[in-house]
Amino acid sequence: MFMRSTSLYFLFLLFAVLCGPLQAFALDPPDPPSLDGSRQEVESRVRTFDKFMMIHLRRLESRADSLDKENEEAEARELQGKVREYLEILRNSYEQALELHNDSALLHNFYAELLHDHLGQPGDAGKHWRRAIILDPHYGRALNNLGLLYCHEGRYSEGLEHLDSSLNEEPDNPDFLFNLVQIYLIHPEQVMLAKKINRRKLYETAMKMSEAAVRNAPGAFDLLRDYALNFFLADNFDSKPNWKKAAKAWQAARKKARLKADIFNTWLNEARVHIRNRDKSAARKCLTEAEALWPESPVVKTLFQSLEEDY
């Protein structure tokens, strides 16, 4: 349910090493985890199985999409069928574990995430998140998940209450901060009504949370990029943008960017920041760096032209 997913990069590498090429194992469903032992042992095994299965499913889905684009419809449908089969195996693992340990808030929460994110059953997911919170009222992840669900259902007062509660439990959790920022900036009218605040106060609060998210996860490129992008929204919230902070935010994001396209966009967006701050020299430098990465970019050419016209 989290709007931002924690990276499974290390597990993906381990899984690839253990399993080999996709073709070698795609059609053989993995064995479900043992449910022997204590509740904690069962929770650990089922969660580990869930993580490996999600990596497995992503690879299957990616391969199925590629086959579909290549008009290999029969093979694509076969893999899509396997995706559904594996999801049912995972569903059964959670249901069997919950039959033994219905008092596990952790199992209820992650089973709900499976129901919501992969099986299209938000109503049932909500029931399990509520159960998880009854079992553990201080369970931040379940509170956050249920809060997001309520907001998506239009129940903003209840949703925001749960999202706030999740942050009370884990005030430095970057995912919780990110999720609440998204709700604030994507659904401002509903948030203003529920919180009884004006647009400027909403934006100031969202930016503080966005800044806190990157402070608590300084290596997360997606959070750094989101924080930097949020500066461009200031005008929509009757606020004056701090372009110097915005430029530093794009510079910080660039240091953590891995992909060429992401590096290009950090240069491009920093250039836009300097243009709005009327710093022609800094803007030109950023556009030159962006052009070196993508010489034929029409956006870079347009921004270069706007520099000459505006000054």
Amino acid code (one letter) for 94: Y
Per-residue pLDDT of the chain in tens (311 residues, 90 and over written 9): 766 544 444 344 444 433 444 444 445 667 899 999 999 999 999 999 999 899 888 888 788 777 777 877 888 787 777 888 889 999 999 999 999 999 999 999 999 999 999 999 999 999 999 999 999 999 999 999 999 999 999 999 999 999 999 999 999 999 999 999 999 999 999 999 999 999 999 999 999 999 999 999 999 999 999 999 999 999 999 999 999 999 999 999 999 999 999 999 999 999 999 999 999 999 999 999 999 999 999 999 999 998 887 65
Amino acid code (one letter) for 183: I
Instruction: Return the pLDDT at 89.
Output: 93
d(CA 201, CA 134): 33
d(CA 176, CA 152): 16
pTM: 0.87
Q: Kindly calculate the radius of gyration of the chain based on its CA atoms and give it in whole angstroms.
A: 23
Instruction: Return the pLDDT at 27.
Output: 57
> How would you class 46 by CB atoms within 10 Å of its CB: exposed for 0-12, middle for 13-18, buried for 19 or more?
buried
Instruction: Return the pLDDT at 307.
Output: 87
